[in-house]
Amino acid sequence: MINKIFHLTIVLILMLSVSYGQDTNERTQFFPKEELSVNNIPDKENIWVFILAGQSNMAGRGLVEPQDTVPNNRVYALNGKGNIIIAKEPLHFYEPSMAGLDSGLSFGKSLIKHIPDSISVLLVPTAVGGSSISQWLNDSIHREVKLFSNFKRMAELGMQYGTVKGILWQQGESDAKTKEAPLYQSKLSELIYQFRKVVGNQETTVVIGQLGSYSTNPLWSKINDHIKYYISTDPNTGMINTQDLKDKGDKVHFDSKAQRVLGERYANEFIKLQH
């Protein structure tokens, strides 16, 4: 009897191991196998820097597919060592066990269609899943990342290569709570002030993504109301609509198609704000 139980236990462990391996392989199967260095980095005046900040829907939880790793020689990213590389998804590297498709590469590829051919785009990933806006303001350590200090460090690295033209912010799910939600607008205003202080320009364009409409939490819409109100007070900010976008089945994270659309909308809103 003991031997039978032992045998069944071993079989169960092997089945779970195989299942886990399949899940892991599915998530990572199209991750790039190598980084591509930028051999001829353009002059500083020819690189526009964009900082990607927020929580998991900016960090990316979509499934990376082959189209998401097709490089463009005008779209770069900073890697975990702070080196400039040709951008491929996933861009964010802070949570390797959860990394997935974000909107960054889609944004970069969409943007270069609307700007001079002489300009390249450098994407600077700083988003960390599960982070609240208070944690960003308080420079908390979250998932082993000191949030605001890391934003400052990465922004400064980016500014060695070019000029910060915009900040993309996708966050708010962690603040959709009874006590935190009413304070979101004032905290967002302060955080954007601090972000712009880091990059040295209080008129830097900031584009903010709404939370998705698929959540069963009614406070997600309250966060969106706060974002919408803040946008009305700051002429250098824009908002992208997400109400028609789908989740990946967990009622929390945008799916791959939605992430690509988000990137296009971020680019379109940035261009609109320049005019």
pLDDT tens digit string along 105-135? Answer: 999 999 999 999 999 999 999 999 999 999 9
Residue 190 C-alpha from the chain's centroid: 20
The pLDDT score that the predictor gives to residue 10 is 37
pLDDT tens digit string along 30-52? Answer: 999 899 999 899 999 999 999 99
The DSSP annotation for 35-70 comes to --B-SSPPPGGGEEEEEEEESHHHH--BPP-GGGG-
Q: Coil, strand or helix: which one is 212?
A: coil
- 0.85 surpassed by pTM: yes
Paired tokens of 231: 């946008």
pLDDT tens digit string along 128-184? Answer: 999 999 999 999 999 999 999 999 999 999 999 999 999 999 999 999 999 999 999
Give the H or E element holding residue 208: strand 205-209
pLDDT tens digit string along 80-104? Answer: 999 999 999 999 999 999 999 999 9
The pLDDT score that the predictor gives to residue 135 is 98
Specify the length of the chain in residues. Answer: 275
Mean pLDDT of 239-265: 98
